[in-house]
């Protein structure tokens, strides 16, 4: 099994999950923005030239949430509640919350504060993106009252939306009024599998 990976990207989610499951994997490392990500050798595997990409035998898959669902279904079904269980709808809600709500403002904020050269950055867009990010985190803060994980026990939702929450804090979202999410992020970052993914 091979993971095409770059630090501080969604690829950390995939490596984190592999570590949680205990599966062996090989890393093909990039740095974000590295020209090799757009080279034919890689775009023949992932036409978008982005990470993560998982190659498992004859299977190639490149959306981080889809990768998580694939790995859980094939190797760790306990990390993805069955549709007959009471927490199934809640699990689905929070599995998809990251990409639907948290990541769009993060993406805009990162573009305007990191990826663009200083002369092309728009401070108004960056400020608005951070404000929207904090609003989306507010719903997660309410949900995490008296909870350890997003949907009962630890699931792949925690590796996806939990990772987005961790990245929100690292990018400067205001966590002063988010004690539940602060505790949640602390607990996720303390997990040995998360530390291993970060070390990658």
* pLDDT tens column, 140-184: 999 999 999 999 999 999 999 999 999 999 999 999 999 999 999
Domain ranges of the chain: 2-80, 88-198
Domain at 88-198: CATH architecture: Up-down Bundle (1.20)
Same CATH fold, 88-198 and 2-80?
no
pLDDT tens-place string over residues 10-51: 999 999 999 999 999 999 999 988 899 999 999 999 999 999
Token code pair at residue 192 = 């040995």
By the 8 A CB rule, do 197 and 12 touch? yes
CA-CA distance, 24 to 181, in Å (whole number)?
31
The stretches of 26-100 forming alpha helices (DSSP H) are 40-43, 64-75, 88-97
Interstrand relation of 2-5 and 59-61 (parallel, antiparallel or unpaired):
unpaired
By the 8 A CB rule, do 17 and 63 touch? no
Mean pLDDT, the chain, integer: 96
Predicted local distance difference test score (pLDDT) of residue 132: 96
Q: Binning pLDDT at 50, 70 and 90, where does residue 123 land?
A: very high
108 pLDDT more than 90: yes
Could you tell me the CATH superfamily of domain 2-80?
Glutaredoxin (3.40.30.10)
């Amino acid at each position: 099994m091979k993971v095409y990976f770059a630090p501080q990207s969604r690829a950390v989610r995939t490596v984190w999950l592999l570590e949680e499951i205990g599966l062996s994997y090989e890393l093909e490392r990039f740095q974000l923005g590295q020209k090799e990500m757009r080279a034919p050798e890689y775009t023949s595997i992932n036409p978008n030239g982005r990470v993560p990409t998982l190659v498992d035998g004859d299977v190639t898959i490149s959306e981080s949430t889809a990768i998580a669902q694939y790995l859980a279904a094939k190797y760790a079904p306990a990390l993805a509640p069955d549709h007959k269980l009471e927490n199934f709808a809640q699990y689905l809600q929070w599995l998809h919350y990251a990409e639907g709500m948290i990541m769009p403002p993060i993406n805009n904020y990162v573009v305007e504060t990191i990826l663009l050269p200083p002369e092309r950055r728009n401070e108004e867009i960056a400020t608005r993106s951070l404000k929207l990010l904090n609003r989306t985190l507010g719903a997660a803060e309410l949900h995490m009252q008296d909870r350890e994980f997003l949907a009962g026990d630890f699931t792949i939702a925690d590796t996806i939306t939990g990772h987005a929450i961790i990245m929100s804090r690292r990018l400067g979202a205001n966590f002063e009024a988010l004690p539940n999410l602060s505790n949640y992020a602390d607990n996720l970052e303390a997990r040995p599998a998360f530390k291993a993914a970060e070390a990658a």
